[in-house]
Structure 1
């Protein structure tokens, strides 16, 4: 018995020691928000005050010292995120996550981001202010890598910390330029539809502009093959495996003084990005005698993409322009190393790449380039066949000055300096929103746009052999869509179609008018906006389009066979205002019915796999409202029923019945239990959280959440057969900048400021975000000093 007691005592002691050791280890991995640290190359002491939510307010004597300190504090909260973002463009994800990411690495390597980065960095002026400040930021990151604790994710994945360089900054920019990727999801699929089903089917979809929709108005006083569907499937698979979020949309509006109660500009912005943990933006306030900015930074990029100071504010949405085209190439039948052009045979360029794979041998793969770009065949296993398809992407074809643009807009003192930096953004296409203390409001669509021959639609795969479907010219920036101080006293963007300023349409993958229509309606009806009213508007969950769809479908539903309960719910649906509170039953019934309506309309022609692909396109989103109004659409008929031709009414009736049955199966026969909070939820997933045992430690959520697809509070989700709507993207921040009270402007992040799971700021904003709450973006130095929760001091290194 004594021996057993001794053994148990020893085991208990070891367990206690292990627990204590674990606590010490975990505590050692937390970010340091206070204390004194030495930092190489500082010219003077830098004070970093952290506020209640862990946002650093950096006070320095020089810009270099401020950006060097920013690099350190950014890295200690987000080094893991930085590591992933820099790896995407250079094909380094398989080294972290194993062989499942090889296809994704192959795809991104074939885009040529890394090669374009190397050329760009080699040509940089190392004495330019942009490069000097970027290097200072990198010094701070690398100082943390050398002296700071290793984030837990590096231990769990077994990778080493390595220094960051300018190449890593540009690779991160390259991923941002590609991230919405709608051309890959759309063009090959539309080509497949046209080739296999016929032009009548493709013409029945809204593939180009539609004058019936709400367009953004300009104002300036001055001015048949099997390969396509496999491309879509391959790209979809590659992007789905990405462990970081993609840019997808956004809202923004800027109110001129005549539209506001206090006679000062108000800017609102909520960029829509895929939800993940950590969230995309890192907030930081930098203040020096020559520079001040409260900014939102992407991991590994020194200059803020969103920002404000006391003089001006700016925000972004995705332009959604078409900057990727696909081309059919023709290989010389007598020499497989050549492809056809209008002037003869050119030689393929052969590119070989090596991918490091965790716990596996390196993977070596080869692909071909043409004058258009990489040939996608055989880059991924699904893409094969005789006919080569090449991809042309503006980002890798034009000199890369995006970082110069970000430096320029973040350092601009007025609207003229700000606008001069914008032509340097060639990709991605962005709607840049602007407002300032002097009362100016503006919107510019920034991208390197190009003109195609009149008869050419870039929504389909083009002929790469004739030279007749090549770009005619690049547009001057003055021909880009824009509005500067328009007489209607506001500018806005919601990823919808812009009007022409150059007498031509701008091809793109624009989202439907739903959000734009609601924004314009609300802004037009009121001229006394203030911060509180704007904060309510940015949380608006009402769709003016969805009730119209219900009304249109309801005209053709034969209710003679409906039960009393079905009639009650159908009546409630007809009176539904298109709003999405958590207790709504009509919202649940509407989306369940809509999914079955889409399935019953399209799946018979497309098949199960292509239908899933189609659900992920903006073309489908634009088609929903317009297609519902189309009484004679060719898609209504079910091609599998030979004895009859289905109508819009048949689809509506069948879809309602199937939706009702599925809801009963999921929640029982009582419709009062079919509330929106039971189907619409949000969870912020961390890559490590994909391991079930670690999910609760790394993921944030899930939470029931109000909102839906294509309302202002755009809590978007993919449609699928489950009938449960797991939110995949939405507001990555909500910012409201009020120049009548600039120091009390407000914002929120979806989870928290820190990406470190052991930080108290890992998820301290998550429930506030779900509830629609805000917090102050502090800029007053005296207030910051008095309310600061901790002070971190950087001093010049004595080494």
Structure 2
């Protein structure tokens, strides 16, 4: 056989050459893939380390030194802890511990607000807020109040503090994400921190002095008569404004800088003082389907993330109470025990006065009083600033209070003004809360409220025996002279506070013949209620109260579902009336005719999907600008924050079509102009299809993290901020959702911070809903799990008894010595 020479017949194959481009592309793809994998791994590690790792242990057992016995913490399906202990000491240690588990950063942040120590962690961006807070002196007032605490109250505060600190001490390397972002570890909690919380809430719910400044600036600009007209205390009676003798308000517009500073403090703390309010009502068994009373409450506060409220149940010998409290405050602020229930709204009364002081030209630390120079108390306040040298300010305090001008250089050379305010006095609060938590009847409840000094609130009450009641507590100054509406001369001694009204002189009611009591920050009693003292002259105009009363009297018998429906009502009574004025314009105008047609027969519903609601709101704000902006000049911005004054004023002016404030063309011409402006702006924003001009597209709510949300970079915005909602309602609807038009347009800034209806026929049939949820930790399943229910008018069961809690138990944690 012939041999085949394979080497001769087989040609070698040429090598395939990979181009440098191909090699480079493959290498680049490999690097990108590797980078993506590393980024994903790093992200997963970061989420696990900073997000999931700090989540608290809510089941099993934890040893807590200092306990005397075992404590059970049963968390229900909403994450609410129900604490049961064999001693009150252990119960409050446990309450402090579980509050820190869920809300540690919130605890520390609001402690810093109360103390004016924000710059230490937020840097120089917060220096103005700290200067303001150190000057006003919430922390100093709390320190001065500590010696007046009763022994039992102090022991409870110490136990609560111990629980918070036990959590801090065992989690310093495992803190919530905010501490890692800001790079610090929280200090130990003290009883003083809890007392400071009460002072902060008094600050959050007060604001009369800023209206004194606005009113004085209007007097300077337009005269007393027009100032009274623009800020009516009662639009129906044209009450004249009495300018105190010797007062000179020249240049008072500069003092509006104090109003701006207060707004900055409120903004960083998630508050909106211009729109604070609340609803509460109690209905006797004679008007309910159960034959027992029901209590409804929905406090209107700044919308914060996390919620300002923390749900809790507490059981120990002598204690059986459930409801909500502020993180940092032991016990329950609003809720019920086994015998009574209560709800709270802000009175909105006048417990602040500004005193113009005469300072010695030869000594800036002296002021005149009744013909002689008095030494001011001068307190140096060192403000530490992250990454920068500290600043020290000297707070000057007269017999009336701190001189507020020193907080800003804008007021250098201006008339010095000192703030006198009940919350800066010896005004204990925490003992009252702890006492009414254990009250069993009306007499004990009122006795407890004798110690509720500031902020002054409207309390409604019910008990299982069928009784209902109402009480205003608080320190109400008796003025030697003046009505508290304007800054007064401090040097004469004529306008001093001579004391306080006695508790028994304050408004109260028990088992009224109407079978219900409702409050909504409206005037609680007639203006001539007392010749000795006044509750104030700047109350809510009363539309929410009127609407609540309409709905409570619409049926002979009311169910729990009826009361929750009232809480979610979005009919605006002033909107209905002002909308009708726009609807009465001609519908033949090419520019506004369709808008007029939409407004005809509108019932005032501020539903998120309502087109007439959007037309009314935008046209009304344009109308306010057309009427007042040019005339008020620099004062207009602050006036815009006071709808409680200009809405009733416009309603009054609608009945006077030729009044000078309408301008040369009269009422209808200005209404036509404003509606045209609204049509143009809505069309520009949402397009030519009027069906798309829904109120909710303008009136949104974003649950931005308090306080970091506005400054967060992407992707941390996805971690700490919650989603944006389209909202129904406004500041005049029962389901309040207010906005600060001058700063944020129609974006909601405050509203129903939680809602509850308590059923005294069976407490376990009560309902409640918080704004966001129990947890302040972004990766918890109870962070934001209430949002949909809260937004859509739904509730969850407000569990109370051990048997009821056992049916909805999610986790059980045992704390032991």
Separation of aligned partners in 2, 1:206 and 1:16: 58
The 1:415–1:632 alpha-carbon spacing in structure 2 relative to 1, beyond 3 Å, is farther
* Structure with bigger gyration radius: 2
Structure 2 partner of 1:583: 609
User: Which of the residues 454, 457, 462 maps onto 1:435?
Assistant: 462
2:410 aligns to what SS in structure 1?
coil
**1:107 touches 1:238 (CA, 8 Å); kept in 2?**
no
**2:74 touches 2:813 (CA, 8 Å); kept in 1?**
yes
Deviation (angstroms), 1:139? 0.9
Separation of aligned partners in 2, 1:212 and 1:40: 65
Structure 1 partner of 2:561: 532
2:741 aligns to what SS in structure 1?
coil
Moved more, 463-472 or 771-780: 463-472
Separation of aligned partners in 2, 1:562 and 1:697: 49
User: Which of the residues 676, 683, 690 maps onto 1:657?
Assistant: 676
What's the TM-score, normalizing by structure 2?
0.90
Deviation (angstroms), 1:633? 4.8
Structure 2 partner of 1:768: 789
The 1:333–1:43 alpha-carbon spacing in structure 2 relative to 1, beyond 3 Å, is closer
**1:511 touches 1:621 (CA, 8 Å); kept in 2?**
no
Structure 1 partner of 2:538: 509
Structure 1 partner of 2:733: 711
Please state if 1:698 is matched with 2:720: yes
Structure 2 partner of 1:48: 73
Alignment of 1:274-673 (within 5 A): 274-397=302-425, 399-453=426-480, 456-500=482-526, 501-503=529-531, 505-552=534-581, 557=585, 559=586, 562-563=589-590, 566-607=592-633, 609-617=634-642, 618-631=644-657, 633-637=659-663, 645-673=664-692
Deviation (angstroms), 1:181? 3.7
Deviations 1:747-781 (A, max 9, x none): 10111110111111001111111111110011231
2:388 aligns to what SS in structure 1?
coil
RMSD: 2.4
2:411 aligns to what SS in structure 1?
coil
2:74 aligns to what SS in structure 1?
strand
**1:59 touches 1:66 (CA, 8 Å); kept in 2?**
yes
**1:31 touches 1:759 (CA, 8 Å); kept in 2?**
no
Deviation (angstroms), 1:351? 2.1
Separation of aligned partners in 1, 2:375 and 2:215: 30
Separation of aligned partners in 1, 2:676 and 2:37: 64
Separation of aligned partners in 2, 1:245 and 1:280: 10
2:535 aligns to what SS in structure 1?
coil
1:88 aligns to what SS in structure 2?
helix
Structure 2 partner of 1:746: 767
Alignment of 1:194-233 (within 5 A): 194-209=219-234, 224-228=249-253, 229-233=255-259
Please state if 1:731 is matched with 2:758: no
Alignment of 1:95-134 (within 5 A): 95-125=120-150, 128-134=151-157
Separation of aligned partners in 1, 2:106 and 2:45: 27
Deviation (angstroms), 1:728? 0.7
2:344 aligns to what SS in structure 1?
strand
User: Which of the residues 153, 156, 167 maps onto 1:144?
Assistant: 167
Separation of aligned partners in 1, 2:215 and 2:573: 29
Deviations 1:196-241 (A, max 9, x none): 211221121344245689xxxxxxxxxx322454344443443344
The 1:405–1:580 alpha-carbon spacing in structure 2 relative to 1, beyond 3 Å, is same
Structure 2 partner of 1:216: none
Moved more, 276-285 or 654-663: 654-663
Deviation (angstroms), 1:61? 1.2
The 1:786–1:370 alpha-carbon spacing in structure 2 relative to 1, beyond 3 Å, is same
What's the TM-score, normalizing by structure 1?
0.92
**1:75 touches 1:144 (CA, 8 Å); kept in 2?**
yes
**2:583 touches 2:597 (CA, 8 Å); kept in 1?**
no
User: Which of the residues 695, 708, 728 maps onto 1:688?
Assistant: 708
The 1:604–1:210 alpha-carbon spacing in structure 2 relative to 1, beyond 3 Å, is closer
Give 5+ residue unaligned stretches, structure 2.
1-22, 239-248
**1:688 touches 1:695 (CA, 8 Å); kept in 2?**
no
Deviation (angstroms), 1:140? 0.7
The 1:168–1:721 alpha-carbon spacing in structure 2 relative to 1, beyond 3 Å, is closer
Structure 2 partner of 1:217: none
**2:149 touches 2:431 (CA, 8 Å); kept in 1?**
no
**1:154 touches 1:160 (CA, 8 Å); kept in 2?**
yes
Deviations 1:462-485 (A, max 9, x none): 111211222343111112122221
Deviation (angstroms), 1:386? 3.6
**1:542 touches 1:580 (CA, 8 Å); kept in 2?**
yes
2:523 aligns to what SS in structure 1?
coil
**2:574 touches 2:732 (CA, 8 Å); kept in 1?**
no
Deviation (angstroms), 1:586? 0.5
Give 5+ residue unaligned stretches, structure 1.
214-223, 638-644
Separation of aligned partners in 2, 1:423 and 1:246: 29
Separation of aligned partners in 1, 2:33 and 2:678: 61
Deviation (angstroms), 1:34? 1.1
2:186 aligns to what SS in structure 1?
coil
Separation of aligned partners in 1, 2:427 and 2:543: 34
**2:208 touches 2:350 (CA, 8 Å); kept in 1?**
yes
Separation of aligned partners in 2, 1:631 and 1:394: 43
Separation of aligned partners in 2, 1:196 and 1:613: 14
Corresponding residue pairs, total:
770
Deviation (angstroms), 1:505? 4.3
The 1:668–1:438 alpha-carbon spacing in structure 2 relative to 1, beyond 3 Å, is same
2:62 aligns to what SS in structure 1?
strand
Separation of aligned partners in 2, 1:505 and 1:393: 15
The 1:627–1:12 alpha-carbon spacing in structure 2 relative to 1, beyond 3 Å, is closer
**1:29 touches 1:758 (CA, 8 Å); kept in 2?**
no
**2:592 touches 2:676 (CA, 8 Å); kept in 1?**
no
**2:216 touches 2:252 (CA, 8 Å); kept in 1?**
no
Separation of aligned partners in 1, 2:96 and 2:647: 40
Deviation (angstroms), 1:301? 0.7
Structure 1 partner of 2:776: 755
2:708 aligns to what SS in structure 1?
helix
Separation of aligned partners in 1, 2:523 and 2:307: 28
Deviation (angstroms), 1:244? 3.8
